[in-house]
């Protein structure tokens, strides 16, 4: 994107509006997290409030605990409650497809320094952002900051660009130094997303899936599957959605059918090794001529 981009265009105003909504609901979410509180009640409150405030969820609110790093969200009848755990919440909001994305750790486990490590890494990276900065440089400062706390960055998770109805686009923003990155340009909208862990520094896929996204819009004969596909293409487009969002009976079975046909793909929960903890902090930034504008702070 060239330096003559107009950051007052409607696109950027909608990113900012999404960011303002996100700031409000994130604060409300943090206030509701305590030992014994319901995961499902929390996400239903946040997702409902996003809509009340004039936005739409850009993806199902993620709730991850302890070794879980990403893609956790409650099932339809989930009865999970918070314990003395490390809790990461990741919230996305869009206004007409223009997205803001942010995450924060709420620590109920007594490991404040691990939460501080990812937050400090994010601050250090934001401080360096300007047009022309190479993403490998940002990865280096993120990784070194986390390691300075005695922890590991999660190297196979990254920050990312945000497109129109696209939650993850280029460029990737690594959490550790890489040989070669790309330069950020004026007008880029990116989410920087450090993850810190006392584990090995790499996540793997679990078995559980509650988040899905459209892979291709093919025809299906089954009535329920067709109804679900109509809702997906109309309401969510290419953005991720939760099983509990579908207005069909037995949505789990319907999604299995659509997945078997490669019409949707799932997002397995991403986890560190058992017994470890993961913290996360994320903000969305618009790259400006003299640095950046953090729209979710």
Identify which of 40, 35, 25 has the alpha carbon closest to the alpha carbon of residue 93: 25
Was 193 annotated as part of a binding site? yes
Whether 101 sits among the annotated catalytic residues: the reply is yes
Which is the catalytic residue, given 160, 272, 283, 293?
160
Whether 31 sits among the annotated catalytic residues: the reply is no
Which is the catalytic residue, given 90, 140, 188, 272?
90
- CA–CA dist 212, 297 (Å, integer): 28
**CA atoms within a 13 Å half-sphere pointing along the CA-CB vector of 182:** 12
Which is the catalytic residue, given 107, 282, 283, 293?
282
User: SS3 letters for 176-228?
Assistant: CCCCCCCECCCCCEEEECCEEECCCCCCEEEEEEEEEEECCCCCCCCHHHHHH
Was 90 annotated as part of a binding site? yes
Which is the catalytic residue, given 193, 198, 272, 293?
193
Was 78 annotated as part of a binding site? no
Whether 282 sits among the annotated catalytic residues: the reply is yes
Was 282 annotated as part of a binding site? yes
Was 71 annotated as part of a binding site? yes
Identify which of 220, 189, 49 has the alpha carbon closest to the alpha carbon of residue 233: 220
Whether 168 sits among the annotated catalytic residues: the reply is yes
| Cα dihedral 233, 237, 241, 245 sign | negative
Whether 160 sits among the annotated catalytic residues: the reply is yes
Was 168 annotated as part of a binding site? yes
Token pair of 215, please? 């892979």
Residue by residue, DSSP assigns 111-171 as -HHHHHHHHHHHHHHHHH--TT-BHHHHHHHHHHHHHHTT-EE-TT--EEEEETTEEEEEE
Q: Treating both helix axes as pointing N-terminal to C-terminal, what angle do 251-260 and 223-231 enclose, rounded to 10 degrees?
A: 90
Whether 85 sits among the annotated catalytic residues: the reply is no
Which is the catalytic residue, given 85, 101, 188, 272?
101
Number of H helices, E strands in the chain: 6, 15
Token pair of 54, please? 């004039």
Which is the catalytic residue, given 130, 168, 215, 227?
168
User: Which parts are annotated binding residues?
Assistant: 71, 90, 101, 160, 168, 193, 282
Annotated active-site positions, please? 90, 101, 160, 168, 193, 282
User: Which parts are annotated binding residues for a divalent metal cation?
Assistant: 90, 101, 160, 193, 282
User: Which parts are annotated binding residues for substrate?
Assistant: 71, 168
């Amino acid at each position: 994107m060239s330096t003559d981009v107009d950051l007052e265009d409607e696109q950027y105003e909608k990113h900012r509006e999404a960011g303002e909504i996100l700031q409000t609901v994130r604060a409300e979410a943090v206030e509701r997290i305590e030992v014994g509180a319901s995961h499902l009640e929390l996400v239903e409150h946040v997702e409902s409030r996003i809509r009340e405030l004039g936005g739409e969820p850009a993806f199902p609110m993620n709730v991850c605990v302890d070794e879980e790093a990403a893609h956790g969200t409650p099932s339809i009848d989930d009865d999970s409650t918070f314990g003395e755990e490390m809790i990461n919440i990741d919230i996305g909001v869009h206004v007409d497809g223009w997205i803001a994305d942010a995450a924060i750790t709420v620590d109920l486990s007594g490991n404040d320094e691990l939460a501080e490590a990812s937050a400090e890494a994010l601050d250090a990276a934001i401080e360096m952002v300007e047009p022309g900065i190479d993403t490998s440089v940002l990865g280096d400062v993120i990784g070194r900051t986390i390691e300075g706390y005695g922890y590991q960055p999660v190297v196979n998770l990254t920050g990312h660009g945000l497109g129109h109805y696209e939650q993850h686009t280029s460029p990737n923003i690594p959490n550790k130094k890489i040989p070669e990155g790309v330069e950020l340009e004026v007008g880029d909208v990116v989410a920087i997303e450090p993850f810190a862990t006392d584990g090995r520094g790499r996540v793997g896929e679990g078995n559980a899936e509650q988040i899905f996204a459209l892979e291709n819009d093919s025809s299906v004969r089954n009535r329920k599957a067709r109804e679900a596909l109509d809702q997906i293409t109309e309401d969510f487009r290419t953005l991720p959605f939760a099983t509990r969002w579908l207005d069909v009976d037995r949505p789990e079975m319907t999604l299995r059918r659509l997945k078997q046909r490669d019409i949707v793909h799932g997002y397995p929960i991403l986890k560190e090794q058992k017994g470890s903890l993961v913290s996360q902090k994320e903000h969305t930034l618009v790259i400006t001529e003299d640095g950046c504008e953090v729209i979710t702070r």
